Structure 1
Amino acid sequence: MALQSWGVWPAAVYSMARRAPKYRTGLPLKDRKNTATRRRLDLAMVRRDLAPSRTQAREFIAAGRVTVNGAPAMKASRLVADGEPVVVAGPPAKFVSRAGRKLEHALDTFDITVTNRLALDAGASTGGFTDCLIQRGASHVYAIDVGTNQLHERVRALPTVTSLENCDIRSVSIDTFRDDPAAAGGFDLVVGDLSFISTRGLLEHLSTLLAPGGDMVVLIKPQFEAGRQEVSRGRGVITDRDVWVAVLHAFIDEATRVSLEVVDLALSPITGGKGNVEFLGHLRRSDILESVNETPEAT
């Protein structure tokens, strides 16, 4: 529609400009003055020590365990004022991240003893695996991650935990721990929860960090093990059972190739962040396979 006069346009723009601020905050005008003291619910829960991490907070919210002002909270993104009461029903989280539940399940299923053992956690992130190991009695845990400031402060503060940040597990060797005599012969327990990289492709390297008789527990994530076509088909979520089976077979074959014995496999008790089914593998160094790989002497 043609403008009849220039006076129409400025009036319309001025009217829109006056209304625009409400779209910036999504709050009624009367509440905008309080935005400085409001923050996302998941962040508020972490600040109030109601959840060890924002990921865990979102899980509590999704499970219907969180109320704000006595009413169920359905979205982690809702804004909460500092004075608003937030309550989480049920027992507190056992570990600093949900990953701890996965490792706990593996240790129980595979009947692995942790007490007084020296451990290495590859891909520690928030520290769920490390937290679980310490709670199970590990003498010391080296938490290794390529990121920065990810390890939960409660875990980081433990005297039995050494955090190595900005550290790619592929660049780590026994020599990295030369100042610790206990690690000279390798680690009694190596665990790994790695993302955006194939765990299968790291088995050979991880085996060099494992002491003879030691145990390795790794999380097998099909979305990082399958081919690009399979991953793209599900938009990052693998639901095809045939792909799961193929991933596990490839994992076993690679373990055998690098002289690791796959003692057992188990289904993770919980899915990954996007709903991906994950598996847990228990491996040991195989002296028998190592001897078979050697060239026998002529008789």
Structure 2
Amino acid sequence: MPRLDVFLVTTGKFPSRQAAKRAIKAGHVFVNGSTAKPSSRVLLHDEVQIIDTPFEYPLGYSKMKALDEIIDSPLVSPGDLVLDIGSSAGGFLIYLLEHGANVVGIEYSTAFKDNLVEITEKFSSVSILFDDAFRMDPNIICESECIDFLVIDVTTDPVGTLKLIQRFIRLLRPGSRLIAAFKSKGNNILLQKIQDCVMRCGCDTIKFHNLDPSQQELHLVAVRR
């Protein structure tokens, strides 16, 4: 008799217990026609019903999906090696893993540890490093030019994001894509400074995307020369 939250994950209804718990507590999961608790036990003949819910994936999942739809070519191909700096609750990770990528995530905050550990238990092609991307040695990940896709989404100012690009860009293969989130709406002067810095790091084909005009966030997409 598994717990309800465990049952929802093992049957593939949710990517993690944290996501399942949020949906259960929000009243989106019914057992035999009634709401239940995450700790409720599911019996063999119980009927479990899930109504449409926005809690199935962490927020980053929808962001990565939106970027994948905006960009002309697919973000990843099966077997690609991806480095995700600032994994947070794992939304980017889950999207990339579902599309066949092998992903290394870096996360500093232990607040997301439970979420990320559950993702590693569900997917065999992911590993998580709980470390400080500003201080760690990038060579821990791999040698230069071995990453097929570099994603950076860290809660810092634009200068901090640029520092991370400078530190990790050498791991990216020539011709491969970088996506970096900047926590600022940006003005023309700031965007030009960001673009100039990213070009000096060895990238071209630079574009900015604003996925949600109500948020102070821009996503830079570039390709390494």
Asked if these proteins are the same fold (TM beyond 0.5), I'd say: yes
Aligned positions of 1:1-299 closer than 5 A = 46=5, 49=8, 52=16, 54=18, 65=28, 82=40, 88-90=50-52, 95=57, 97-113=58-74, 114-115=76-77, 116-138=79-101, 140-148=102-110, 149-157=113-121, 158-165=123-130, 167-178=131-142, 183-197=143-157, 198-222=160-184, 244-246=185-187, 249-259=189-199, 260-261=203-204, 263-268=206-211, 276-285=215-224, 287=225
Can you list the C-alpha shifts for 1:60-102, whole angstroms capped at 9, x where unaligned? 977x8567996899xxxxx88847x99641278664x121110
Give the letter for the 2:98 counterpart. Answer: Q
Q: Which amino acid aligns with 1:100?
A: Y
Amino acid at match of 1:121: D
Higher normalized contact order (CA 8 Å, seq sep 6+, divided by chain length): 2
TM-score by length of 2: 0.69
Q: What's the % identity of the aligned pairs?
A: 21
How high is the TM-score relative to the length of structure 1? 0.54
Aligned positions, number: 204
Q: Where does structure 2 lack aligned partners over 5 or more consecutive residues?
A: 42-46
Alpha-carbon distance, 1:191 to partner? 0.7
CA distance in 1 between counterparts of 2:181 and 2:73 reads 15
| Greater share of residues in helix | 1
Please tell me the root mean square deviation across aligned C-alpha atoms, in Å: 3.8
Question: Secondary structure at the residue paired with 1:195?
Answer: coil
Deviation digits for residues 33-55 of structure 1 (CA, Å, limit 9, x no counterpart): xxxxxxxxxxx985664754657
The answer to which structure has the higher strand fraction is 2
Mind listing any 5+ residue stretches in structure 1 that lack a counterpart? Answer: 1-43, 74-78, 223-243, 288-299
1:4 aligns to what? none
Aligned to 1:170, the other structure's residue is in SS state: coil
Counterpart-to-counterpart distance in 2, 1:55 and 1:81? 14
Tell me if structure 2 keeps the 8 A contact 1:121–1:190: yes
